């Protein structure tokens, strides 16, 4: 690569990094400001934490402004994927350093928590126990209010996507936003212009966040809890302001229903959410993804009820409401819970893991493989097996919901499914081989799946007491699952090719 082109690529990368850093500052700045306004008078600790968050946010903004002035140009696809992957790897590293300092917890524990935040997984390690790395890790109930809000903000921004926020608010003429937008896994648009689409997508996200906060508040939560639970529900993320999650409101079925409703909306495609806002209800009801997600949500509730009815372990330890709630929460990949899964039966745990691995819409905040990809794979299987029985002149109707499947759509879907299956097997087998003497095999598989599919529920494996190696496996699973694995492979190939080009 010529020196001039290499320098141009570096400046362009710095420009994009600057824009992304300014977006990344939002959770820090917002939680710090709110903390100073609302909670700093409670104690010096609250004041100190809010001040540190605000100061960190200001530093990110200033550094971002400086870098964004670099004389950049247009990005190639490889550059965009590499920058996106680097962003999702580096942002949690910085966030973890601050959380480790604020809460005085080991860095690896802080990293797991911040990765669970940014990736919208919600596997919280703040359970109030001694860490395997030394030191006490507080429970969510013991941390400052500003940190609770910060955690919620991490998930809210991470849900719609760091890059989407960047494109919506900071992208300027000459910025090749499309490459970044696609690199973060956003292939669909709400408007013809990509910037307009990102703005519309962010507007839809904000409207449903506010609507969700109102719904949850009216169900009986305090205003602060309602806002934060709405933020982590619409992002299908699952961090709560209480150690017992939604179980803090034990037996309050209005709260149960409202949090699941907002989470269900988060699992829907932004296209469907936009159509609901525009009162195009006919389009929503004709949407294949909407119908499949609604059907699987009902199926997850019915299957959980059946397990509760036939399984004496579940009947003796859980109410029917708790059993259904956790199952639906797992499928939607939000990760709220009303009861711990530590005493649940293996059949129930495997049910939730399987449902969560399916996930929600491909153009949503939900985790998992996504229903559309599985539908495409099943349709392809049907077409290919039918073709064998038909004459050579047979032309199959390769359609889903009236939409013709292209070869690229099929290849991309199968690639993601294969990648998920491969990583699930590799991470699962590694974790079982190393730690099955400490934890039951089913529990390990559940938490690894929960990390990879960004589900957020845990059987108790995800905890401060867990070995450092297991925490690293869970962190890797969350990061890989958030970008759906393929961008990491592309970034690795891009890096290798760049090194070769210099030699």
CA angle, 265 then 263 then 486, to 5°: 85
Query: What percent of the chain clears pLDDT 90, i.e. is strictly above it?
Result: 73
Q: Which two tokens stand for residue 491?
A: 């970034």
Q: Is the per-residue pLDDT at 292 higher than 90?
A: yes
Q: What is the pLDDT of residue 72?
A: 65
Q: Is the per-residue pLDDT at 195 higher than 90?
A: no
Q: Is the per-residue pLDDT at 156 higher than 60?
A: yes
Residues near 500 by Cβ (< 8 Å), separated by ≥ 6?
none
Query: What are the C-alpha distances in Å from 469 to residues 217, 329, 398, 456?
Result: 40, 28, 45, 19
- Determine the straight-line distance between the first and last CA of the chain, rounded to whole angstroms: 9
Q: What is the pLDDT of residue 179?
A: 61
Q: What is the mean pLDDT of the chain?
A: 91
Q: What is the pLDDT of residue 138?
A: 98
More confident residue, 8 or 205: 205
Average pLDDT over residues 208-213: 98
Q: Is the per-residue pLDDT at 314 higher than 80?
A: yes
Q: What is the pLDDT of residue 175?
A: 52
Can you tell me whether residue 241 is helix, strand or coil? coil
Q: Is the per-residue pLDDT at 487 higher than 70?
A: yes
Q: What is the pLDDT of residue 502?
A: 72
Average pLDDT over residues 445-470: 98
CA angle, 213 then 215 then 216, to 5°: 65
**Contact of 115 with 361, CB cutoff 8 Å:** no
Residue written as tokens 């038909």?
Answer: 390
170 pLDDT band (50/70/90 cuts)? Answer: low
356-386 per-position pLDDT tens digit: 999 999 889 999 999 999 999 998 898 888 8
Q: Is the per-residue pLDDT at 188 higher than 80?
A: no
Query: What percent of the chain clears pLDDT 70, i.e. is strictly above it?
Result: 93
Long-range contacts of 47-54 (CB under 8 A, 24+ apart): 49/102, 49/144, 49/146, 49/147, 50/144, 50/146, 52/98, 52/101, 52/102, 53/28, 53/29, 53/98, 53/102, 53/146, 53/147, 53/150, 54/28, 54/29
Domain extents in the chain: 1-104+144-186
Q: Is the per-residue pLDDT at 231 higher than 70?
A: yes
Q: What is the pTM of this model?
A: 0.93
Average pLDDT over residues 24-32: 96
166 pLDDT band (50/70/90 cuts)? Answer: confident
Residue 403's beta-bridge partner residues? 400
Q: What is the pLDDT of residue 383?
A: 86
Q: What is the pLDDT of residue 161?
A: 84
Q: Is the per-residue pLDDT at 52 higher than 70?
A: yes
Q: Is the per-residue pLDDT at 73 higher than 80?
A: no
169 pLDDT band (50/70/90 cuts)? Answer: low
25 pLDDT band (50/70/90 cuts)? Answer: very high
Find, among 482, 472, 477, 465, the residue nearest to 125 by Cα: 465
């Amino acid at each position: 690569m010529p020196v001039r082109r290499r320098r141009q690529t570096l400046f362009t990368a710095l420009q994009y990094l600057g824009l992304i850093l300014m977006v990344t500052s939002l959770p820090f700045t917002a939680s710090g400001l709110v903390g100073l306004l609302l909670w700093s008078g409670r104690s010096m600790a609250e004041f100190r934490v809010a001040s540190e968050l605000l100061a960190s946010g200001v530093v990110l903004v200033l550094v971002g402004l400086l870098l964004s002035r670099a004389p950049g140009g247009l990005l190639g696809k490889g550059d965009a994927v590499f920058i996106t992957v680097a962003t999702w790897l580096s942002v949690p590293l910085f966030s973890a350093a601050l959380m480790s300092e604020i809460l005085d917890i080991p860095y690896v524990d802080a990293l797991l928590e911040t990765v669970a935040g940014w990736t919208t997984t919600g596997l919280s390690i703040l359970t109030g126990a001694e860490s395997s790395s030394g030191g006490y890790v507080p429970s969510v109930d013991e941390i400052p209010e500003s940190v609770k809000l910060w955690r919620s903000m991490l998930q809210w921004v991470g849900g719609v996507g760091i890059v989407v926020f960047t494109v919506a608010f900071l992208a300027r003429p000459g910025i090749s936003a499309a490459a970044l937008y696609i690199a973060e896994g956003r292939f669909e648009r709400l408007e013809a212009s990509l910037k307009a689409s990102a703005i519309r997508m962010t507007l839809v996200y904000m409207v449903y966040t506010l609507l969700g906060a109102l719904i949850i508040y009216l169900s009986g939560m305090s205003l602060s809890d309602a806002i934060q639970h709405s933020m982590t529900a619409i992002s299908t993320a699952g961090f709560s302001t209480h150690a017992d999650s939604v179980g803090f409101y034990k037996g309050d079925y209005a709260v149960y229903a409202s949090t699941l409703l907002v989470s269900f909306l988060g699992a829907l495609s932004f296209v469907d959410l936009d159509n609901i806002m525009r009162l195009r209800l006919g389009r929503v009801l004709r949407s294949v993804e909407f119908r499949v997600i609604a059907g699987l949500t009902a199926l997850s509730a019915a299957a959980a009820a059946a397990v509760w009815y036939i399984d004496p372990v579940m009947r003796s330890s859980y109410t029917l409401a708790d059993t259904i709630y956790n199952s639906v929460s797992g499928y939607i990949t939000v990760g709220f819970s009303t009861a711990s899964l530590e005493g649940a039966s293996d059949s129930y745990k495997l049910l939730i893991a399987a449902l969560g691995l399916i996930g929600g819409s491909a153009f949503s905040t939900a985790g998992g493989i996504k229903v559309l990809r599985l539908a495409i794979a099943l349709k392809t299987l049907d077409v290919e097996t039918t073709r064998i029985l038909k004459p050579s002149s047979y032309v199959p109707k390769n359609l889903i919901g009236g939409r013709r499947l292209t070869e690229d759509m099929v290849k991309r879907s199968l690639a993601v499914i294969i990648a998920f299956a491969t990583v699930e097997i590799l991470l699962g087998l590694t974790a079982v081989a190393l730690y099955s003497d400490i934890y039951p095999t089913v529990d390990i598989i559940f938490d690894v799946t929960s990390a990879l599919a960004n589900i957020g529920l845990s059987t108790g494996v995800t905890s401060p007491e867990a070995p450092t190696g297991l925490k690293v496996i869970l962190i890797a699973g969350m990061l890989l699952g958030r970008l759906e694995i393929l961008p990491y492979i592309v970034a690795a190939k891009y890096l290798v090719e760049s090194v070769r080009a210099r030699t």
